[in-house]
Amino acid sequence: MSIERRILEIDSAVVRYDRLTAVDHLSLAVFEGETLGLVGESGCGKTSLAKALVGLVPLRGGQIRVQGIDAQASEARKRGWLAARIQLLFQDPVASLSPRLSVRRLLQEPLKIRGVMGPETWREIEKFVAQLGLALNLLERYPHQLSGGQARRVSLVRALAMRPRIIVADEPTAGLDLSVQGEMLNLLAKIQRELGLTYIVVSHNLNVVGRITDRVAVMYLGQIVEIGATRRVFDGPAHHYSAALLAANPVLDPARRSKRIVLKGELPSPLNPPSGCRFHTRCPAAQPICSRMAPELRELATGHRVACHFPRL
């Protein structure tokens, strides 16, 4: 993996729904060919960020640049430029597929919209279908006739048909049996190697994130509190929230289990987040400055940054 070239840059992005700010001045760079994980509790803004990346929700502030080009620019959106470079795999694959269209028509539709549908293009789609272990007779089925694993593979084929450089996978293994989860992860890794793709994986499953990602970003109430190489963050989290999140993750190996960290208080409402550090109301190491001043992401080691006044050492 080369991390020399930034393929995606997020600069002070804000995603807001009426009074709720789901993503609050978040900045992040994604490097070409890597797999970046986004983790955090439900409601922290992961899925809102994923939708903003593909243009499904507008930014209320900041900028997203894909290959150096402003993804929110009207010309880029009008020409379908963004859809040809970044695709989203939805958390519920069946719900993302129109129940009125067969799998064949579902795969043809985006190509027709772009005006690139033809015999050669369709042969390439059939090649993807075969590579993902799907029988060609499945093309005549409808979404309700697919299993969860088949629906995810169809969604992946549809995304690959656009020849994107980046795929955002929202909970790519949710609802799948453990054996099918492993097959899906192996499949994603194989496709990444063959096509040179960049992945952003949004997941609650820390075991999945720990297995397939190169770096991980931990989110809390719309902001990144820690980011770094996955192994470094998992083995030695610097932020107290990251430590609590990882300690709550079930681990089969007794030698790798850590003492559970019980956080005090309830998760604050995103409608009215705490002042200063947003985690200070639950943090075991909070000091008076934490309620007054929001910490900035600062580098602890090469590529490892944390937003905390008193990080874990």
Kindly state whether residue 296 falls inside one of the protein's structural domains. yes
Residue keyed to tokens 């690139």: 116
Kindly state whether residue 206 falls inside one of the protein's structural domains. yes
The mean pLDDT value for 254-260 works out to 62
DSSP code at position 59: -
The per-residue pLDDT for 239 is: 97
Distance (Å, whole) CA 117 – CA 154: 18
**pLDDT band at residue 122 using 50, 70 and 90 as cut-offs:** confident
Q: Note whether 280 and 274 are within 8 A (CB).
A: yes
The answer on pLDDT for 2 being more than 60 is no
The per-residue pLDDT for 307 is: 97
Percentage of residues in the chain having pLDDT higher than 90: 62
Number of Cα atoms under 13 Å in the Cβ half of residue 15: 26
**pLDDT band at residue 251 using 50, 70 and 90 as cut-offs:** low
Distance (Å, whole) CA 211 – CA 230: 9
Distance (Å, whole) CA 170 – CA 174: 9
Rg of the chain over all Cα atoms, to the nearest angstrom = 20
Kindly state whether residue 143 falls inside one of the protein's structural domains. no
The mean pLDDT value for 132-145 works out to 90
**pLDDT band at residue 149 using 50, 70 and 90 as cut-offs:** confident
Structure confidence by residue, pLDDT tens digits, 5-62: 999 999 999 999 999 999 999 999 999 999 999 999 988 999 999 999 998 999 999 9
Q: Which two tokens stand for residue 87?
A: 């695709």
The answer on pLDDT for 1 being more than 50 is no
Q: Which residues form the domain of 198?
A: 6-85+164-306
Could you tell me the CA-to-CA distances from 105 to 95, 155, 222 in Å, in that order? Answer: 16, 13, 37
81-87-91 Cα angle (round to 5): 150
Whole-number mean pLDDT of the chain?
89
Distance (Å, whole) CA 165 – CA 192: 10
Q: Cβ neighbours of residue 24 under 8 Å, at least 6 residues apart? A: 14, 45, 221, 222, 223, 273
Structure confidence by residue, pLDDT tens digits, 220-242: 999 999 999 999 999 999 999 99
Kindly state whether residue 312 falls inside one of the protein's structural domains. no
The answer on pLDDT for 289 being more than 80 is yes
Distance (Å, whole) CA 26 – CA 147: 36
Q: What is the dihedral of CA 143, 144, 146, 152, to 10 degrees?
A: 50
The per-residue pLDDT for 72 is: 81
Kindly state whether residue 15 falls inside one of the protein's structural domains. yes
- Count how many domains the chain has: 1
The mean pLDDT value for 60-85 works out to 83
Kindly state whether residue 35 falls inside one of the protein's structural domains. yes
Structure confidence by residue, pLDDT tens digits, 151-208: 999 999 999 888 899 999 999 988 788 878 888 898 899 999 999 999 999 998 999 9
Kindly state whether residue 271 falls inside one of the protein's structural domains. yes
The answer on pLDDT for 3 being more than 50 is no
The mean pLDDT value for 128-135 works out to 86
Residue 278 sits in a domain whose CATH number is 3.40.50.300
DSSP code at position 172: T
Kindly state whether residue 268 falls inside one of the protein's structural domains. yes
The per-residue pLDDT for 76 is: 63
Distance (Å, whole) CA 156 – CA 114: 18
The answer on pLDDT for 291 being more than 90 is yes
